[in-house]
Amino acid sequence: MNFRLGSGRTLAAIAAIVFAVTACGSTGGGGTASPGKGTLTVAGFNFPESSILAEIYGKSLEHDGYTITYKLLLGTREVVAPALESGQIDVYPGYAATDLEFYNKGAGEASGDVTATTAKLNSHLSALGLVALTPSAAVDQNAFAVTKATQTKSNLTKLSDLAPIGSQLTLGAGPECPTRPYCQPGLQKTYGITFKAFKPLDTDGPLTRAAFKNGSIDVGLVFSSDGDLNSLGLVVLQDDKHLENADNVVPIMRQAAASDEVKRVLNAIDAKLTTADLVTMNSQVSIQHQDADAVATAWLQQHNYYS
Amino acid sequence: MASGCFLDYVDPWVNWTWLSTHVPLFWDALQQHIALTAFAVIGGLVLSLPLGVAAHQWPSLRNPVLAVFGVIYTIPSLALFALLVPYTGLGVVTAEAGLIGYTVLILVRNLLVGLESVPQDVIDAADGMGYRPFARLVRVELPLALPAIFAGVRIATVTTIGLVTITALIGLGGLGQLIYKGLIENFHTPLVVATVLSIALALVVDLALIGVERLAVPWSRGTAG
């Protein structure tokens, strides 16, 4: 008798939990149908810049009348690519060279030429029913920075400007830099820069920051859209001879979802987006801990989407 | 392509101002964490009960069942999700397929241990009283196996509360989402608060399960776990 009573309570408790969970599940799923232009699912990877870009894409499409579902902070392309191919998501903010090297399984076809890289990317995507839209000028790639003081003193704007003075400068980067084509050998070959010395540090990490601060390096490897470049007083030199792979921001979409109108909206965003915008927005999210969707809304307001 | 952010600025362990404006974020994550865990354990139980009973009735099934779920237990979650996403989507089904798969091994093992520990003379007595095998299982063997089953549920639940965090890979993850955010943005507050919440959740749920066990199996008081 005792057991029967006990098990009855257990069953009731379990039933209550099951009910609560199924109730949660049904409210959590799919958005409500709206009389708008249809529903699109925008995905993003798990780093702040990707959330910001996904929010900007999503909000601009929402502004145009689409209903948007977000799938943000997803792990890696290994998870996102199959989800895109199977229609679980419709678009994600990609990077031309990185995505090309993902979809061609690391064949090394990416180059510093963004048009050629995107064309190659599209040749791989079309077989999967996917398409890359027009790449933005905004880029998140390996870059070489100097301090504002160095920039002003030697009047530097682009990497070519380093060639005549390279013999007075020390380069700092990860220890693999002297053997990697995108790093020291590339700077030598493409730009004719021979440095006075090389300091093995880290790739875009705290050692590089510290070395800039204490003056032990003059030129350092960073990523072009790092949020802390401004606050650290670092200036990225323009890669005028396209040594680095073109990791320009580019929406990767399902062809079935890429109507002319969607393409127009997203291409208009990418035409306005700059690397400086990425640096600013990354610093707002990563350093000031603002929310990505608020940062995205602010960018759209600046660009007169809501006026 | 990745962005690293390293500053001299010292991030406090908990930024209370930020936390006070982001309470709903933690509340939603906690609810999702609880729902994912509850579903995984209940789903695991629903699967393990017939599997465990079958493996007990037909001992030749025992090793194959344990081996299959032992193998599933070793599949890296990233690989499992990448394989499942095209079929089951980026969502609850994929997450639960992984989580339930991981709980079944623990639950089946405990169910078997419980059923095997039923004394032979009790089974003989039940047979002597005229119980048919199914009635004997339901009214004699399973009730006697309950303490071991509860021990399995407690281990599975606490393990799952930790495991749920990995479903952040497919955009779920409950509190794992916030732990991830803290790691990626080098921001202590979500990392610390979500970790503390997840430990607290494991403790509270474990205590609650002990309470439920005392109600369901009053005769085993003090010997559980």
Out of A29, A73, A225, name the one closest to residue B180 (CB): A73
Residue of chain A with shortest Cα separation from B169: A75
Question: CA angle, corner B211, sides to B210 and B212, nearest 5?
Answer: 95
Nearest neighbour of A89 by CB, restricted to B4, B15, B90: B90
CB A83 to CB B86 under 8 A? yes
Among A24, A224, A247, the strongest candidate for a mutation testing the B interface, having the largest count of B CBs within 10 A, is A24
Is A44 a member of any domain?
A: yes
A43 with A135, same domain: the answer is: yes
Nearest-angstrom CA–CA distance, B103 and B36: 12
3-state secondary structure B114-152: HHHCCCHHHHHHHHHCCCCHHHHHHHHHHHHHHHHHHHH
> How many structural domains are present in chain A?
2
Does A122 share its domain with A252?
yes
User: Residue A48 domain-assigned?
Assistant: yes
Per-residue pLDDT band at B7 (split at 50, 70, 90):
very low
Whether residue A4 is predicted with pLDDT greater than 70 in this model: the reply is no
Express as a percent the part of chain A with pLDDT over 70.
89
pLDDT in tens, A174-187: 988 999 888 999 99
Q: Which residue, of A214, A237, A260, is where some domain finishes?
A: A237
Same domain, yes or no: A206 and A233 = yes
B87 to chain A: which residues are within 8 Å by CB?
86
Q: Provide the pLDDT confidence category of residue A203 given band limits of 50, 70 and 90.
A: confident
Percent above pLDDT 90 for chain A? 75
Cβ-Cβ contacts under 8 Å, A31 against chain B: none
Residue of A nearest to B37 (CA): A21
> A75, B5: Cβ pair inside 8 Å?
no
The b/e string for B108-139 (b: 16+ C-beta within 10 A; e otherwise) is bbbbbebbeebeeeeeeebeeeebeeeebbee
Instruction: Clarify whether residues A209 and A153 are in a common domain.
Output: yes
Q: How far apart are CA B218 and CA B225, in angstroms?
A: 14
Task: Locate the chain B residue with the closest alpha carbon to A142.
Answer: B1
Question: Domain range for residue A77?
Answer: 39-139+246-302
Query: In terms of domains, do A218 and A274 share one?
Result: no
What distance in Å separates residue B177's CA from the closest CA in chain A?
8
For chain B, domain boundaries: 23-215
Q: Do B35 and A76 touch (CB under 8 A)?
A: no
Is the CATH code 3.40.718.10 the one for domain B23-215?
A: no
The conformation of residue B222, written as its DSSP 8-state character, comes to: T
Q: Which of B144, B52, B142, B55 has the alpha carbon at shortest distance from B106?
A: B52
Q: Which of A5-14, A126-135, A203-212 is the most confident on average?
A: A126-135
Residue A34 lies in a domain: no
Closest of A230, A201, A45, A149 to residue B7, by C-alpha: A230
- Shared domain for A106 and A190, answered yes or no, is no
ipTM, 2 dp: 0.76
Establish if A8 belongs to a structural domain: no
CATH number, position A174: 3.40.190.120
Q: 3-state class of A236 per DSSP? A: strand
Give B9's pLDDT tier (boundaries 50, 70, 90): low
Residues A130 and A146 in one domain: no
Question: Is residue A185 located within the same domain as residue A207?
Answer: yes
Distance from CA of B67 to the nearest CA of A (A): 27
Pair (A180, A109) in one structural domain: no
Residue A17 lies in a domain: no
Question: Whole-model pTM?
Answer: 0.81
> Which of A79, A206, A228 comes nearest B82 by C-beta?
A79
Beta carbons of B153 and B103 less than 8 angstroms apart: no
> Residue A153 falls within a domain, yes or no?
yes
Give the distance from residue A15's alpha carbon to the nearest chain B alpha carbon, in angstroms.
Answer: 10
Whole-angstrom CA distances from B42 to A67, A85, B34, B155, B183 are 34, 32, 12, 13, 31
Same domain, A74 and A88: yes
* A6–B216 CB contact, under 8 Å: yes
Do A47 and A165 sit in the same domain of this protein? no
Helices and strands, number each (H, E), in chain B = 10, 0
Are residues A48 and A167 both part of a single domain? no
pLDDT attached to residue A79: 87
Residue A25 has pLDDT above 80, yes or no: no
